[in-house]
Amino acid sequence: MKYNISIKKLILLLLLFIGLTGVSYADHLEKWTDDQLCRSINNPPTLAHIATEVNMRGLYCDDGVSIKKVKQPITKDIVLASKLNRWEDKLKRLNKIIRGKNPIYTTNSGTTININPFGGEKSLILNKFF
């Protein structure tokens, strides 16, 4: 019976030691360089604390290389301008589709559906590439 109690105490002491050791090294991300953070965020299991550190530092990661973000205050004018740019792009694309310059639909294999709304013969064109 005494043997079981001493083994339990040893196991509890070992687990306590491992737990405290892990906590004492928790601030290791502060010592990492920006490039090291970006390299680790590109590896598949991205951990939440690494992503949080990247956001706190204001980094943009491009293929493992860090780029500092320019901090610009977000105002109502900037939001409206970005919405206007998106609508302009959508309308330009729609205009090209209606005029027959861009396809209406493109499949993954490259098949396109175009329209020809002008001229004597109005038509719908299906281009299938082999």
Q: What is the pLDDT of residues 65-108, one digit of tens each?
A: 777 766 667 788 888 888 898 999 999 988 988 888 888 888 88
Cα–Cα dist 107/103, whole Å: 10
Decide: helix, strand or coil at residue 15: helix
For the cut 50, the answer to whether the pLDDT of residue 26 exceeds it is no
Nearest to 99 by CA among 79, 126, 119: 119
The tokens for 99 are 């005029």
The tokens for 128 are 């299938």
Tallying the residues shown for the chain, one arrives at 130
Q: Return the number of other C-beta atoms located less than 10 Å from residue 37's C-beta.
A: 20
Give the domain ranges of the chain.
2-68, 76-127
- Which residues fall within 8 angstroms of residue 72, CB to CB, at 6 or more apart? 78
Residues 32-73 pLDDT 10s: 888 888 888 777 666 777 788 888 887 877 777 777 766 667
Decide: helix, strand or coil at residue 87: helix
Handedness of CA 62, 39, 49, 59 (dihedral sign): negative
Read off the pTM.
Answer: 0.38
Estimate the crossing angle of helix 48-57 against helix 34-42, to 10 degrees: 140
β-sheet bridge partners, residue 114: 125
